[in-house]
Amino acid sequence: MRTIYLKTKLFTGFAFLVFSINSCDSFVEVDLPKSQLANTVVFEDYATATAVLTDIYSKIRDKGILTGSNTGVSNQLGNYTDEIVCYGTPANPSLPFYNNQLLATTPGITEYWNSTYNQIYAANSVIEGVTANIKLSPENINQLQGEALFIRGLLHFYLTNLFGEIPYIKQTDYKINSVVGRMSTDEFYQNIIQDLEKAVELLPDNYSSTERIRPNKLVARALLSRVYLYQKLYAKAANQASFILNQTTLFNLEANTNNVFLIASKETIWQLKSAAAGRNTLEATVFIFKSGPPPLVALSNNLVNTFSNQDQRKINWIKNVSNGTTTWYHSFKYKEQNPTAKSLEFSVVFRLAEQYLIRAEARAYQGDLTGAKEDLNKIRNRAGLANTDAQTQDEILKAVLQERRWELFTEHGHRFFDLKRQNQIDQTLSGIKNGWNPTDVLLPLPQSELSANPNLLPQNLGY
């Protein structure tokens, strides 16, 4: 893991935040020197406090679970399930995921753990730094705390869905963190829900800019709807999704699927801004290739062949590449592989289509089959497909799961998480992934963490 130190530098009157990174063995060793973060003037000024959050967002974009690079879950969990086929050299970090050969010492596993807890640690530093800070306005304190709570809930959500029972970290005190133990999944989710409900209370109603890169109440609600769905709190999931779907002045499904992932898309709820003007997404650099065989990954025929030829998602979100004898396919949701005169695409984390699918599933479980079909058909019709012919609750739930596969492929591991929570993963992957075992629904805890803190034992089953 890496220790985060905060320094401020002044250049021509502007305060810039810099995280300098020093090596350490584990997130539990991350401590905050008193003079450098929690008790510093950084959090007494809204601009520099905002710079801390901006830096966290850039870290989320570039490293760890939600990065769009080939080490993030959009790619790796696609390899781990039935979305993606791995190519390239033996050095390709996707091979352990694709070949179902993950170990407690696999570097990518340790990277997920360390980078994400590092980001959580930074969010905690914001919460501690702005609490009762008399030099900030109440409105600024609320926004900063709300964003940090959202980040903490978001990252913990992904961690528990990857690793199972793990620590929920709410402080920066290394003495506490160094001996922290695992938490039950139910208690863990209660912490996520508490953080997100508080974030909804604190965050502003409106976006800070048209780019939708700073979370507001609606962004926190979008995550809450997903969390409630995963926890089978279907009425609450449907209510949160409905609140968002009713904001028709802000959000609408894009009629043309080519426009869904553009920066100005009316479908975007929250996105991560690119690193510099003219830069686009890391996802495009990973998934797009011009000639075969693919240098890193390609979409699996198992996925591509399930689409109807009339499906606009197949037409506009999947592209084929042939060498004359073999045809490969790649994700083409993000279309700008190279820099452009100005940035055209940011990495979308939450978008409106998921909210329709969340509400469809939640309504089906509650017995509102008509409402569930209406939501499902919104997504199908936008894709150029006819209304679903599903009738019973079981048929509709299966149809929603299938629609999620078509709509959300290569987006932040949805397929893996959906198969897990629907208890479909073993029957789906056992015939596809060599040596698939039921225990593979969880990743191994990093061996370095178990060695540093025995309170994290036992290791997840199967490893």
18: tokens are 């810099």
- Rounded Cα gap, residues 145 and 56, in angstroms: 14
249: domain CATH number is 1.25.40.390
Residues 195 and 342 in one domain: no
Q: What domain range is 289 assigned to? A: 208-412
On whether residue 418 sits in a domain, the answer given is: no
Q: What pLDDT, on a 0 to 100 scale, did the predictor assign at position 263?
A: 98
DSSP state of 274: P
In this prediction, residue 74 carries a pLDDT of 98
In a domain, 417, yes or no: no
Q: At what angle do helices 217-230 and 352-365 cross, to 10 degrees?
A: 40
Residues 58 and 71 reside in one and the same domain: yes
Q: 147: which residues sit within 8 A by CB, 6+ positions away?
A: 53, 126, 199, 203, 214, 215
Whether 55 is covered by a domain: the verdict is yes
SS3 270: strand
Tell me how far apart the alpha carbons of residues 156 and 134 are, in angstroms, rounded to a whole number.
30
The pLDDT score that the predictor gives to residue 40 is 60
Tell whether 80 is covered by a domain.
yes
Residues (pLDDT < 50) of the chain are: 1-39
Instruction: Indicate whether 311 and 191 sit together in one domain.
Output: no
- What residues are paired with 146 via a beta bridge? none
Amino acid making up residue 30: V
Tokens of 292: 């075969």
Q: How far apart are CA 336 and CA 396, in angstroms?
A: 36
455 shares a domain with 343:
no
DSSP bridge partners of 448: none
Which of 412, 436, 452 is a domain's end point?
A: 412
Same domain membership, residue 440 and residue 402: no
Q: What total number of domains does the chain contain?
A: 2
Cα–Cα distance, 455 to 463 (Å, whole number):
17
Shared domain for 260 and 350, answered yes or no, is yes
Span 15-29, pLDDT tens digits: 333 333 333 444 444
Digit-coded pLDDT (tens) for 211-260: 999 999 999 999 999 999 999 999 999 999 999 999 999 999 999 999 99
In-domain check, residue 398: yes
The Cβ of residue 325 has, within 10 Å, a number of other Cβ atoms equal to: 6
Same domain, 284 and 402: yes
CA 251 to chain CA mean position, Å: 20
The one-letter code for the residue type at 454 is P
Q: What is the DSSP letter of 267?
A: T
* 450 in the same domain as 392: no
Whether 157 and 217 map to the same domain: the answer is no
Q: Which tokens in the block code for residue 28? A: 């539990």
Q: How far apart are CA 436 and CA 439, in angstroms?
A: 8
For 211-247, the DSSP string reads: T--S--HHHHHHHHHHHHHHTT-HHHHHHHHHHHHT-
Q: Are 292 and 324 in contact (CB under 8 A)?
A: no
Among 412, 434, 449, give the residue marking a domain's end: 412
CA distance from start to end of the chain:
22
What is the C-alpha to C-alpha distance for residues 402 and 118, in angstroms, rounded to an integer?
35
| Whether residue 150 is found in the same domain as residue 224 | no
Q: Please say which residue of 373, 388, 412 terminates a domain.
A: 412
Beta bridge partners of 268: 351
Residues 372 and 434 in one domain: no
- One domain for residues 337 and 275: yes
Tokens 């306005």 — which residue? Answer: 137
Q: Does 292 fall in a domain?
A: yes
9 strand-pairing partners = 16
| Long-range contacts, stretch 22-27, CB < 8 angstroms, 24+ apart | 25/1, 25/448, 25/452, 26/1, 26/114, 26/448, 26/449, 26/452, 26/453, 27/1, 27/113, 27/114, 27/117, 27/118, 27/121, 27/169, 27/177, 27/449
Does any domain span residue 40?
Answer: yes
